Structure 1
Amino acid sequence: MLDRTETRPGAAVLILHGGRADGPGPPPAVNLPGLRMRPFSRALAAATAGRGVVLGRVRYRCRGWNGEQADAGRDALRALDELDAVLGAPVPVMLVGHSMGGRAALHAAGHARVRGVVALAPWCPAGEPVAHLRGRDLVLLHGDRDRVTAAADSWALAGRAREAGARVCALRMPGGDHAMLRDAGTWHGLTTRLVTGLLGLSPLPPAVAAGLEGGGGEPADARTVAAGG
C-alpha cells in the first residue's frame, strides 16, 4: 500500500513492520507491530514532502516468517516487483524494517531496485544469506537492552555482509529496547536522517558516512550520531 504518491517520483521508501517467527494466518486488523511503525512513517513523510519520494507499506499475507517459506521476505519481493507497475517507472528504493520486517528487508535487498536498508532491531538468525547484499548500503540500528532479537546477531550479520561486499554501518542504541519506546524520538529522528541521507536528499551523519566507507570496528553509539557526533 502506498501512503503517498508523487507526480514525478524519483525514489521510494517501503516500511516493513515486525511479526512472529510462526503464524500462517493473516495479521490482525489492529496490529501492534504495524502501529509501532506509524511514527517512523510520519517522520519520513514530513522530511520528504514535495521531494519526489513515494512512501509505502508492505502488507504481509501471513503474520509470521514461517520457516523456509519466508513469507514476509516473499511479500517484500512481491511489493518491489509491483512498485514499477504502480509508479509507471523504475525508481531506487530504500527499505526500512523492524524486527521480522528487518529480516524481510535484508532478504529482499538483492532486488534490482533496492539501494539500501535501514534495519531496526532486526531479526538476524545465524547463517542468514548475505551474498545478495553486495553493493548495497546497510545500516543496522539495535538497542543493547533488546530481549527479543539479539544485537550481537546484528553485529555478526553486519560483519559477514561487509565481507560479502556490502557497505555497512552498525549503530548501537544505549538502553534501547526491542519496541523502540525508550528514547523513541531518537529512533524516529535518526532513522529519518539515515533514509534521507542514503537517498542523497540530505547529508548523512558523519559517523555513518565514515562507517559505510571504512567499515569494521565496534558499532557506533547511536545517540552520539544523532547528536551530530
Structure 2
Amino acid sequence: MVLLLPDGEADSHRRPSALSYAIQLPFARALARAGEGDGLAVHVLRYRCRGWNADDAHPAEDAAWAADEVQRLYGDVPVCLVGHGMGGRAALRAAGHGAVTSKQLMGRRVLIVHGTNDERTDPELSYRLAERAKKANRDTCRFEVHSDGHALRQHRSEVVALAADFVRGSLFARSYARPVADALAAPPPLGLRMPLAAGFGRSLRH
C-alpha cells in the first residue's frame, strides 16, 4: 500500500482544496500502474485541514491515522509513505508507524528528492536532514533534480519513475535501478547529492 501525502501550507485550519487532491491523482495512477503486477494499491490522503499548524502537525497525525486504517481494512500489509512538499515532512514524522516499511528512520528505507531551484524550501535543509538520517540509517539516499523547482514539474516523468522504482524495491524486494542502488550504497555526500538523470523514466520502460 502506498499512501500519497499532498503538499499543504504552514498555517491554516481551512479544509484542503479539491485541487490539492486532484493534482496528486496522475502520480497515484502512475505508481499504481508500476506496481499493478505486484498487487500494489495507492491512496491519496485527504487532510482534515491544509496547514501543518506548528506543534499540532495535523498532516502527520492524518498520515498515522491512515496507516491505522490500512491495517484495519487490509490487515498486516506493508505501507510506503510518499509525500510532496509538506507531505514529505508528514511522511518523515509519521514513519514510525509499525506498518511503514519505508521512511522514518531506523529500519526504514528513505528516499528524498529535491529540486535545486526550489525557492520555497531550501534544498540544503533536506540535505542536512538526509545527512543526519544517514548516520543512523544507511538505507537513506537523496536525489537532486537540477534546474527544477518546488513542484518538480520540469522532470515529472523522471521523478515519478524514481518514486515507482523505490516503492517497488522497498515493498516487494525488487532490485533497485542502478542509480538508486548506488545512491543507497554511497557514503555522504555522494549518495545524498545524486543527480536525477534525464531520461530515467524512459530507461525503466522496457
Normalising by structure 2, we get a TM-score of 0.90
Alignment partners' CA distance in 1, 2:130 and 2:121: 15
Farther-moved stretch of structure 1 (39-48 vs 198-207):
198-207
Quick check: which one's strand share is greater? 1
Match of 1:90 in 2: 76
Matched, 1:141 2:113: yes
Quick check: which one's helix share is greater? 2
Match of 1:55 in 2: 42
1:157–1:179: structure 2 CA closer, same or farther, 3 Å change rule?
same
Q: How does 1:127-206 map to 2 (within 5 A)?
A: 133-165=105-137, 167-200=139-172, 202-206=174-178
In the comparison of the two structures, how many residue pairs are matched? 200
After TM superposition, give the deviation of residue 80 of structure 1 in Å.
0.6
1:158–1:193: structure 2 CA closer, same or farther, 3 Å change rule?
same
Farther-moved stretch of structure 1 (39-48 vs 135-144):
39-48
**Counterpart pick for 1:103 among 69, 78, 89:** 89
Alignment partners' CA distance in 1, 2:86 and 2:13: 14
Q: Which letter maps to 1:75?
A: D
User: Would the aligned equivalents of 1:17 and 1:101 in 2 still touch at CA under 8 Å?
Assistant: yes
After TM superposition, give the deviation of residue 102 of structure 1 in Å.
0.4
Structure 1 gaps, min length 5: 1-11, 118-131
Matched, 1:114 2:103: no
Match of 2:2 in 1: 13
Q: Which letter maps to 1:156?
A: R
Q: Which runs of 4+ in 1 moved over 6 A?
A: none
**Partner SS state of residue 133, structure 1:** coil
Q: Which letter maps to 2:160?
A: H
Structure 2 gaps, min length 5: none
User: Would the aligned equivalents of 2:21 and 2:44 in 1 still touch at CA under 8 Å?
Assistant: no
Alignment partners' CA distance in 1, 2:54 and 2:77: 31
Name the % identity: 36
Q: Which letter maps to 1:190?
A: L
